[in-house]
Structure 1
Amino acid sequence: MTRVTAGLAAALASLLIAAPAHADDPLTLAVDIPFEPFEYRLPDGTLTGFEVELGEEVCRRIQRECEWVEQGWDGIIPGLLARKYDAIMSSMAITDARRDKVLFSEPYYSNPSVWVTQEGREIDIEDTAALEGLAVGVQRGTIRDNYITDTYGDLVDVRRYSTGEDLALDVRTGRLDAAFMYYPLALSSLDVDAEGSDFVTSSSLIREPNRYFGHGVAVAFHPRNEALADQFNEALREIKQDGTYDELMHKYVDYDIKI
């Protein structure tokens, strides 16, 4: 093979990899798991959760087969931009920084965060002196990481974890003084504020400021995939209007996440 021919072959291969999927191909949706109750595996290995069922319902309505692709959070946007999958449906908050990289659907749920500590441990998050030097855990690369780093980074020892599961583990074992967590994750992994629980919330549910916590959770698409985003938006509107959304929501959470 000549050098020119080899170069053309490489260029063609690159174009094929980057080409968007055809309408008859399975629709690939990236998800970072476990993130209960939104996406997680049952003991038999079945993938389930609110977003998984919602995504399956969207696929049914737009007459596409769904395939779920597991992807770590740190690489989930780069993978989308490289067209390793068609969309991200994994509790991604709409932020200005992310809007510069991806195309978002309309938001489909709100995403509160909360401070968590061990039962009996009183931490006043408004008292900066009380926070100084504390070990505070967050999931790396999330909006909660950005918020804690910018707001409290000079006060606390920020400890970052690759997954929410790893973060919850260090909360349970007492390696952290506090954690700033996604509220649904705190409920599912630590049973916060439940009777007999060893863990409590140390703040109200936090959804602002918008520059950190965004404008709700949405599906993320490649910037050039407007047609698919439009299909998702139409299906999501129908799902909300006909009551299917509420049925799915109350199947997985006992508080209102609708936006």
Structure 2
Amino acid sequence: MKKLLAALTVALLATVSIGAHAKDWSTIRFGVDASYPPFESKGPDGKLVGFDIDLGNEICARLKAKCVWVENDFDGMIPALKAKKFDGVLSSLTITPQRAEQIGFSAKLFDTPTRLVAKKGSTLQPTPESMAGKSVGVEQGTIQETYAKTNWQPKGAKVVPYQNQDQVYADLVSGRLDAALQDEVQADLGFLKTSRGTGFQFVGNAIPSGAAAIGLRKEDTDLKAKIDGAIASMLKDGTYKKIEKKYFDFDVYGE
């Protein structure tokens, strides 16, 4: 009898264990920092819009899942993902070795470089020597913050982190910053080609950034497989290109 009870207990625990790990992805929650147009921002009606938003909604549609968007400051994305506040980070998140130690990533979504922005006529260059003694604004938690603090700060640059990209541009326009470092496409379409970007320009050459993808918890391998399949099918049937053309007149996917 004891052996039978032990066997039943083991079987029951196995069933509970399997049930605990089986996940229902009928709803997928994506974390987003809505201060990075044209990738993610808020429209006049307060609704989330942008390239990443459209990609995420299309992925959910292909997986027959409901998309729920959870707004979060960018520098808190990875801790919030690990704490299960949402299931994925879909917010122009670049793959880096440091991030890959903490989380997993989907297949690539796009690949765009980093650029420095300053006033028109500025002689600044994105080099340690040129940035010495200058103040540069970055969004907290971004690869641009890491780059500036690693390469420029030791040579005397003042790197000023902000909670979101809108705050970076506000202080750049007001003159409290000498320059801002961010994604090239975001700076071009989300700042330089808008009214508040009048009087500013890119300075120096582009800095390679690497591919952006959806950040995922490492243990959610089933969700990664589903999302990767959806991305692959979007690329294959032309849906990715169709969405891309809504925002860009050039290829953001890269090689």
- Which residue pairs with 2:140 in the alignment? 140
5 Å matches for 1:209-220? 213=209, 215-220=210-215
Give, in whole Å, the separation in 1 of the partners of 2:39 and 2:194: 20
Q: Could you tell me how far 1:255 is from its partner in structure 2? A: 2.7
Unaligned runs of 5+ in 2: 1-19
| Alpha-carbon contact 1:23-1:64 (below 8 Å) kept | no
| Alpha-carbon contact 2:27-2:66 (below 8 Å) kept | yes
Matched, 1:190 2:185: no
Looking at CA atoms only, which structure, 1 or 2, has the larger radius of gyration? 2
Q: Could you tell me how far 1:21 is from its partner in structure 2? A: 8.4
Give, in whole Å, the separation in 1 of the partners of 2:202 and 2:253: 22
Give, in whole Å, the separation in 2 of the partners of 1:256 and 1:22: 35
Aligned AA for 1:134? K
Aligned pair in 2 of structure 1 residues 242, 163: CA closer, same or farther (>3 Å)? same
Q: Could you tell me how far 1:137 is from its partner in structure 2? A: 1.2
| Alpha-carbon contact 1:192-1:200 (below 8 Å) kept | no
- Which residue pairs with 2:243 in the alignment? 248
Give, in whole Å, the separation in 2 of the partners of 1:193 and 1:67: 29
Structural RMSD (CA):
2.0
Give, in whole Å, the separation in 1 of the partners of 2:174 and 2:230: 43
Give, in whole Å, the separation in 2 of the partners of 1:24 and 1:203: 45
Give, in whole Å, the separation in 2 of the partners of 1:42 and 1:132: 38
Secondary structure of the residue aligned to 1:116 is strand
- Which residue pairs with 1:13 in the alignment? none
Give, in whole Å, the separation in 2 of the partners of 1:110 and 1:124: 23
5 Å matches for 1:84-99? 84-99=85-100
Using the size of structure 2 for normalisation, the TM-score is 0.85
Give, in whole Å, the separation in 1 of the partners of 2:134 and 2:187: 19
Give, in whole Å, the separation in 2 of the partners of 1:57 and 1:47: 14
Give, in whole Å, the separation in 1 of the partners of 2:127 and 2:25: 54
Aligned pair in 2 of structure 1 residues 89, 21: CA closer, same or farther (>3 Å)? farther
Q: Could you tell me how far 1:91 is from its partner in structure 2? A: 0.7
- Which residue pairs with 2:216 in the alignment? 221
Deviates more, 1:242-251 or 1:228-237: 242-251
Give, in whole Å, the separation in 1 of the partners of 2:128 and 2:235: 41
Q: Could you tell me how far 1:75 is from its partner in structure 2? A: 1.4
Aligned AA for 1:221? L
5 Å matches for 1:142-221? 142-154=142-154, 155-191=156-192, 197-207=198-208, 213=209, 215-221=210-216
Higher strand share: 2
| Alpha-carbon contact 1:40-1:48 (below 8 Å) kept | yes
Secondary structure of the residue aligned to 1:257 is coil
- Which residue pairs with 1:63 in the alignment? 64
Aligned pair in 2 of structure 1 residues 20, 88: CA closer, same or farther (>3 Å)? farther
Matched, 1:257 2:255: no
Secondary structure of the residue aligned to 2:108 is coil
Secondary structure of the residue aligned to 1:255 is coil
Q: Could you tell me how far 1:189 is from its partner in structure 2? A: 3.6
Aligned pair in 2 of structure 1 residues 119, 80: CA closer, same or farther (>3 Å)? same
- Which residue pairs with 2:77 in the alignment? 76
Percent identity over paired residues: 31
Aligned AA for 1:144? Q
| Alpha-carbon contact 1:50-1:249 (below 8 Å) kept | yes
| Alpha-carbon contact 2:33-2:91 (below 8 Å) kept | yes
Size of the alignment, in residue pairs?
233
5 Å matches for 1:21-60? 22-23=23-24, 25-60=26-61
Secondary structure of the residue aligned to 1:141 is coil
Matched, 1:100 2:101: yes
Give, in whole Å, the separation in 2 of the partners of 1:203 and 1:87: 34
Give, in whole Å, the separation in 2 of the partners of 1:220 and 1:120: 39
Using the size of structure 1 for normalisation, the TM-score is 0.84
Give, in whole Å, the separation in 1 of the partners of 2:199 and 2:237: 40
Give, in whole Å, the separation in 1 of the partners of 2:158 and 2:112: 25
